[in-house]
Amino acid sequence: MLDVDLDPIENAIHIPEKIWFEMHHEQDACDVLVRMDDGIIYTATFVTFDYIKRQMDLNHAVSRELSCELRDVPCVRYAVIDTVHVVVESLVKDVIEDTIDNLLALDVFESYFVRVTETEAERINRTNSREQKRATKEHTAVVINEVLVVDE
């Protein structure tokens, strides 16, 4: 039998306290920041089908140039997205908030959102200063308040 000591605070279900949206210039993608009720902040990129099409068009242009220079490179349309993106029909507030609610209800939120801030336990348990660390809540607050151009 495996004896696991679960910290009820660390494993509690949290709810979003505040959500920020930073729209990309092209208006087909936005970065979303979510602060949970425990103060931990997560981020994800939300995109529309227009974003996917734009990525395919960009790759097609590169592919067309390569196919002219390299005989064995066929010109094709494709999109390769190397980080997690949440594809939605539109980037309106209600759609994004409802998507977040669904991801939380399905218990997959942390599979698609990246935790930005570290917990106090992580900070204390870090064994050396070379270990990769997340942003502090203070750093993240500066980014949210002074760097991002966001809609709330």
pTM, to two decimals:
0.69
* CA dist., res. 79 & res. 141, Å (int): 34
Q: Hunting for tokens 């395919």 — which residue is that?
A: 56
What is the DSSP code (8-state) at residue 24?
-
In a domain, 93, yes or no: yes
The values of phi and psi at residue 108, to 5°, are: -125, 10
pLDDT in tens, 69-109: 777 777 777 788 888 899 999 999 999 999 999 999 999 99
Q: Indicate whether 5 pLDDT > 70.
A: no
In a domain, 2, yes or no: no
In a domain, 10, yes or no: no
In a domain, 3, yes or no: no
In a domain, 22, yes or no: yes
User: How does 45-63 read in b/e, with b if 16+ C-beta sit within 10 Å?
Assistant: bbbbeebbebbbeeeeeeb
Domain containing residue 66: 16-147
Q: How many domains does the chain have?
A: 1
Q: Indicate whether 119 pLDDT > 50.
A: yes
Confirm if 29 and 47 have CB atoms less than 8 A apart.
yes
Chain centroid, CA 132 distance in Å: 18
In a domain, 11, yes or no: no
